A and B are shown apart, each in its own frame.
Chain A
Amino acid sequence: GEDVEQSLFLSVREGDSSVINCTYTDSSSTYLYWYKQEPGAGLQLLTYIFSNMDMKQDQRLTVLLNKKDKHLSLRIADTQTGDSAIYFCAETPILTGGGNKLTFGTGTQLKVEL
């Protein structure tokens, strides 16, 4: 089955860039998502990328996809204390006529220090 892996922790200083990495195993066409979870809360969708794309930029967020290595990264520019949270990478295969259940990584805890 599908598997998604992430590093557990990342600590950065306020104003620096953060890069959160993810690897996945699904070799079929897939959508890849980044979600943010603050303590005690649900998941907030940040951005997504389709597996035929290399890069997507959305304000302070840049997603890079290396299809050959099945490696996904999320770069947060000018990281702020409000960015402190757990970030989940998730993937789902493209299925026609059926629901697309998400497979999540274990999450990366981002800590932003002053």
Chain B
Amino acid sequence: DTGVSQNPRHKITKRGQNVTFRCDPISEHNRLYWYRQTLGQGPEFLTYFQNEAQLEKSRLLSDRFSAERPKGSFSTLEIQRTEQGDSAMYLCASSFETTRDTQYFGPGTRLTVL
């Protein structure tokens, strides 16, 4: 399977703990996006990378959130000092840079903060 993969699929943590999620994009894709989806809502953009450069961050991405893509392949999203409001599905998408930039999504990581 050469689709976008995300790990872990589910994460339960206590408030105040740090969590890290990983996304492996489709191999030839140079763009990688992170979105957050809360219950009953559509996904909201968090940040995106072109190769290893993080080019845009949403105002939703507070100082407790950090994302990296060190070698332009996989990416990690870390949340420090988690809060109950961080509970959501975190979705990763990748694309190959073209005008259309069609994004293909992974299965997501469901985060529950107790």
Contacts and interface: CB of A to CB of B under 8 A. Distances in A.
Same complex for A and B? Answer: yes
Interface of A: 4, 31, 33, 35, 40-45, 48, 50, 88, 90, 92, 94, 96, 98-107
Contacts of B91: 42-43
Contacts of B93: 43
Contacts of B45: 101-103
B107 A42 contact: yes
A42 B42 contact: no
B62 interface: no
A64 B45 CA distance: 26
B50 A99 contact: yes
**Which of B40, B42, B45 gathers most chain A CB within 10 Å?**
B42
A45 B95 CA distance: 12
Contact of B42 (A45, A50, A101, A106): A106
Interface of B: 4, 6, 31, 33, 35, 40-45, 48, 50, 55-56, 91, 93, 95, 99-108, 110
A35 B101 contact: no
A20 B69 CA distance: 37
B25 to A, nearest CB: 13
Contact of A43 (B6, B40, B105): B105
Contact of B106 (A4, A42, A106): A42
8 contacts: A42-B91, A44-B105, A99-B50, A99-B55, A104-B42, A104-B43, A107-B40, A107-B42
